[in-house]
Chains A and B, each alone.
Chain A
């Protein structure tokens, strides 16, 4: 498999774009014509060939550009990557998981050679070659979590497990849907989910936490989450709200198709072996409405979901102000025909 990496930006002139293949493989998150929260976890054990579910860590045409964007964000705000002192072992666990997975799943892009604790890592797309000693942080240019997540698409949180709870004690968060690692660091599962409407009363978090505390090694799980973003911007952080918040006001009936993006997070959860921590990669995929509607099933379904969504969810997901314009645009692509089950295009 060869991947042509896009030359594109996720800020300023926003030259981000999806190829026709990238649109077809977009992880459309709705398996029916309506949406409500659920603990929609399933085993992360492969999936249909070519989809983002096939490999443990999906690498796509946006890889190189996303890593450049992360570098810019980190240079402006180093606190986007933090690891409390007791999380270093979990960082090594995660580095191993990513390197082993990528070298096995994309042998033409990544290589890992191990001789005991002496490791040799080659990342061809980013032009990196590194020899280091596993579990010895002095042999890497930065901590293990920062090192590997500068080379891995998606945000990544490492959750410590203790006192029957999970604690957000380390992470690399530069492409988030309006939450802040610097604010959430050290919080437990209930604390960092406190702003989410409705789900608490539904008992969603209690059930999800019970499930995650029992997450087993070598049995990762995944779920999809979604929101809406104006312009293909990865860094929609509270720290930079002044930069992207006003862009919501640029949506008009003429611009909505190109500027309004459906933002989907492929979230996976992994029990790490040495630290007993949980790794929580949150991989972001963006697709403009005009690209979504090239798949007629998705156009019909997205119209119905957004039209019927409860107001507080539209408010929480931050697109209430543009919902009428979005729904009017999508209505043109909904002829009322029934849609097939499942998330994949027809």
Chain B
């Protein structure tokens, strides 16, 4: 996995919960450019545990002078965002993996329609900069519960195509109105909670949108769950903690597994299952329904297990 060691050069609070971090090359070298919607995986050595979290890049894709991410502090999460918020200072060096894009714009679109919920605004911040360069028509809707929580407002350009919906102010986003007035050839991109993505899919289906014009990215963090044990081919057993993913447990035990997005989307960590007495809790967007039902494969980055024994092809 190709990673760069970068220096934290700016830490800027955007809201009580969301902070922006800027990374630059320690010797000032240019960083690889990327496409809007790309993410990086940041490695965080936290008291003996190596955490790796994926964050969308929010800076200009055509500006290699630095990478910027916006991180929402999740106190109930597994600790990656808390680590960034409380233990990282300007000047620190962190390993950052090269950008990967699983949420790219379809450049064939006649118009790009972007719908963001909460911290789901992040990939669109880079895409907006890319669209400005490409001079493509777009429209963006950003929904948040309150103005204080809407960290993205500070980072959005003041343009008539950008609409902010604050539900506390009685200005809820009306998906029917947004999706019904669009020209043919529009593609819609949704990033936010699963509920928002489902609502967009449902409304679009009702209005007759073609499926190929709908794109979404759920910010999927490995969900916690009850501890469980897996068995390797050698017979070795690995314990997975309640707030640890199977992938993290394998890494902690120095079992080599390839990975990329760590969010159940890219398929890179797909692992065969040779015996399963129990039920795999599939949380990924990668395996097909048939593959999930067969219980012969697991995505260790997000999926868990309940039952007697789970033997992996590792």
Decide: A274 near B98, CB < 8 A? Known: A86-B108, A161-B104, A162-B106: no
Contact check, A217 vs B99: say whether CB atoms are below 8 A apart. yes
A243 interface residue (CB < 8 Å to B): no
Task: State A156–B106 Cα separation when bound (angstroms).
Answer: 22
Interface code A205-223, partner B: CB below 8 Å = 1, 0 otherwise? 0000010011011110000
B94 interface residue (CB < 8 Å to A): no
Chain A residues lying within 8 Å of B106, measured Cβ to Cβ, are 86, 162
A295 interface residue (CB < 8 Å to B): no
Contact check, B108 vs A274: say whether CB atoms are below 8 A apart. no
Q: Which of B10-46 contact A (CB under 8 A)?
A: 32-35, 38
Contact check, A214 vs B34: say whether CB atoms are below 8 A apart. no
Decide: A214 near B266, CB < 8 A? Known: A273-B33, A274-B35, A274-B62: yes
Contact check, A89 vs B134: say whether CB atoms are below 8 A apart. yes
Contact check, A216 vs B107: say whether CB atoms are below 8 A apart. no
Q: Which of B191-243 contact A (CB under 8 A)?
A: 212
Minimum CB distance partner of A96 in chain B: B33
Minimum CB distance partner of B1 in chain A: A216
Write the nearest CB–CB distance from B155 to chain A, whole angstroms: 21
Minimum CB distance partner of B34 in chain A: A273
B267 interface residue (CB < 8 Å to A): yes
Chain B residues lying within 8 Å of A89, measured Cβ to Cβ, are 107, 134
Chain A residues lying within 8 Å of B266, measured Cβ to Cβ, are 213-214
Chain B residues lying within 8 Å of A84, measured Cβ to Cβ, are 108
Contact check, B108 vs A210: say whether CB atoms are below 8 A apart. no
Chain B residues lying within 8 Å of A274, measured Cβ to Cβ, are 33-35, 61-62, 130
Write the nearest CB–CB distance from A39 to chain B, whole angstroms: 15
Decide: A276 near B35, CB < 8 A? Known: A86-B107, A214-B260: yes
A275 interface residue (CB < 8 Å to B): yes
Write the nearest CB–CB distance from A154 to chain B, whole angstroms: 24
A201 interface residue (CB < 8 Å to B): no
Q: Which of A267-302 contact B (CB under 8 A)?
A: 273-276
- Looking at chain B's contact residues, the main secondary structure is loop
Task: State A218–B33 Cα separation when bound (angstroms).
Answer: 11
Task: State A161–B108 Cα separation when bound (angstroms).
Answer: 12
Contact check, B32 vs A273: say whether CB atoms are below 8 A apart. yes
B100 interface residue (CB < 8 Å to A): yes
A163 interface residue (CB < 8 Å to B): yes
Task: State A276–B267 Cα separation when bound (angstroms).
Answer: 18
Q: Which of B84-113 contact A (CB under 8 A)?
A: 98-101, 104, 106-108
Chain B residues lying within 8 Å of A85, measured Cβ to Cβ, are 108
Decide: A162 near B2, CB < 8 A? Known: A214-B267, A274-B33: no
Contact check, A216 vs B98: say whether CB atoms are below 8 A apart. yes
Contact check, B2 vs A216: say whether CB atoms are below 8 A apart. yes
Interface code A148-182, partner B: CB below 8 Å = 1, 0 otherwise? 00000000000011110000000000000000000
B268 interface residue (CB < 8 Å to A): yes
Chain A residues lying within 8 Å of B108, measured Cβ to Cβ, are 84-86
Interface code B263-285, partner A: CB below 8 Å = 1, 0 otherwise? 00011100000000000000000
Residue in B33, B107, B134, B268 whose beta carbon sits within 8 Å of that of A214 in the complex = B268
Contact check, B2 vs A276: say whether CB atoms are below 8 A apart. no
Interface code A195-238, partner B: CB below 8 Å = 1, 0 otherwise? 00000000000000010011011110000000000000000000
Minimum CB distance partner of B212 in chain A: A163
Chain B residues lying within 8 Å of A218, measured Cβ to Cβ, are 2, 32, 98
Q: Which of A3-48 contact B (CB under 8 A)?
A: none
Chain A residues lying within 8 Å of B267, measured Cβ to Cβ, are 210, 213-214
Chain A residues lying within 8 Å of B98, measured Cβ to Cβ, are 216-219
Minimum CB distance partner of B35 in chain A: A276
Minimum CB distance partner of A86 in chain B: B107
Task: State A187–B106 Cα separation when bound (angstroms).
Answer: 16
Write the nearest CB–CB distance from A296 to chain B, whole angstroms: 40
Chain A residues lying within 8 Å of B133, measured Cβ to Cβ, are 135
Chain B residues lying within 8 Å of A163, measured Cβ to Cβ, are 212
Chain B residues lying within 8 Å of A210, measured Cβ to Cβ, are 267
Chain B residues lying within 8 Å of A273, measured Cβ to Cβ, are 32-35, 99
Task: State A135–B32 Cα separation when bound (angstroms).
Answer: 17
Task: State A86–B266 Cα separation when bound (angstroms).
Answer: 24
Most buried by B among A87, A162, A219: A162
21 contacts across the A-B interface (CB closer than 8 A): A86-B106, A135-B133, A161-B104, A162-B104, A162-B106, A163-B212, A210-B267, A213-B266, A213-B267, A214-B100, A214-B266, A214-B267, A214-B268, A218-B32, A219-B2, A273-B34, A273-B35, A274-B61, A275-B107, A276-B101, A276-B104
The 9 closest A-B pairs by CB, nearest first: A86-B107, A276-B35, A273-B33, A276-B104, A86-B108, A276-B101, A217-B98, A214-B268, A162-B106
Report which A residues bind B (CB closer than 8 A): 84-87, 89, 135, 160-163, 210, 213-214, 216-219, 273-276
Besides the known contacts A217-B98, A276-B101, 5 further A-B residue pairs in the complex with CB atoms under 8 A apart: A217-B99, A218-B32, A219-B98, A273-B34, A276-B38
